[in-house]
């Protein structure tokens, strides 16, 4: 399988939980698929149809911290000057809140679209990941050939929810999967497994009714570090 491999690095990022509005804005520890979709469209310069796009990633950061931000609430008021109605904007309340952020994030993104290499080498818009002020830079862009192997290790990645029983590590989370911009940015959510701790395929839990054979083949990145005779395995996801 030939894929586009992109290494992106930044100073900070934050992937806000969409249902938290006041007081504190926590962050996901991994970028949601909807964020990846927006990132791809930003590089290409237009909204692309999600059909047929598959991606996998390896995401790390050095530390997590809380930053203090402020929301300036403004309100409009009306009045009259010499009998003429007018509207003026008044500065209202300032609401401080804590926003969780990730320091020194690093994303290795794999996309099944090697033909997009030139567009990522010359992205249409400013490269960001997360908020608009979370600037990123591409440190490496290449086309590689993924291999198949009977053994692999998985870490710092997003795992399909149906692999929960098999992997036996990580924690489940509900994430934005896709925003339908043709339907007023209607959000689609999906459950995933966030996996940070390294897990070898040898240690996957076997259940008789899951029909998991010992000779299962995994897609691996041969450029990744070799650990105990295994390479980094990849779980690919779709937007729809």
Query: Which pTM does this prediction carry?
Result: 0.88
Question: In this predicted structure, what is the pLDDT of residue 84?
Answer: 59
> How confident is residue 83, by pLDDT bands cut at 50, 70 and 90?
low
Tens of pLDDT, residues 90-121: 556 777 888 899 999 999 999 999 999 999 99
Q: How far apart are CA 120 and CA 113, in angstroms?
A: 11
Say whether pLDDT at 85 is over 80: no
- Three-state DSSP class for residue 227: strand
Length of the chain: 240
Instruction: Set out the domains of the chain in order of their start, with CATH numbers.
Output: 2-68+97-238 (3.30.70)
For residue 110, give every residue at least 6 positions away whose Cβ sits within 8 Å of its Cβ, in sequence order, or none: 3, 4, 5, 6, 55, 56, 57, 146, 221, 234, 236
Half-sphere exposure of residue 84: CA atoms within 13 angstroms, side-chain side? 4
Q: How far apart are CA 106 and CA 138, in angstroms?
A: 10
The helices-and-strands tally (H runs, E runs) of the chain is: 3, 17
Question: Average pLDDT of the chain?
Answer: 89
Among candidate residues 101, 164, 165, the one with its CA nearest the CA of residue 134: 101
Look-up of token digits 């399909």:
160
Query: For 16-30, what is the mean pLDDT?
Result: 84
Question: In this predicted structure, what is the pLDDT of residue 73?
Answer: 72
Say whether pLDDT at 80 is over 80: no
């Amino acid at each position: 399988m030939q894929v586009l491999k992109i290494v992106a690095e930044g100073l900070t990022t934050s992937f806000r939980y969409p249902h938290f509005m006041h007081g504190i804005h926590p962050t996901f520890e991994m970028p949601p698929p909807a964020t990846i979709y927006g990132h791809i469209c930003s590089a290409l310069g237009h909204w692309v149809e999600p059909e047929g796009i598959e991606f996998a990633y390896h995401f790390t950061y050095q530390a997590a911290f809380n930053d203090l931000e402020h929301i300036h609430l403004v309100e409009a008021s009306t009045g009259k000057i010499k009998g003429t109605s007018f509207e003026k904007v008044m500065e209202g309340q300032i609401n401080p809140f804590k926003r969780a952020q990730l320091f020194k994030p690093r994303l290795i993104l794999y996309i099944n679209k090697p033909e997009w290499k030139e567009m990522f080498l010359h992205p249409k818009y400013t490269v960001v990941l997360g908020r608009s002020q979370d600037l990123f830079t591409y440190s490496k862009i290449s086309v590689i050939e993924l291999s198949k192997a009977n053994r692999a290790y998985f870490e710092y990645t997003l795992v399909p929810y149906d692999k929960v029983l098999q992997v036996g590590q990580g924690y489940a989370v509900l994430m934005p999967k896709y925003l339908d911009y043709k339907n007023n940015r209607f959000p689609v959510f999906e459950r995933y497994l966030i996996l940070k701790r390294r897990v070898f395929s040898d240690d996957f839990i076997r259940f008789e009714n899951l029909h998991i054979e010992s000779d299962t083949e995994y897609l691996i990145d041969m450029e990744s570090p070799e650990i105990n005779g295994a390479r980094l395995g990849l779980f690919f996801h779709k937007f729809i």
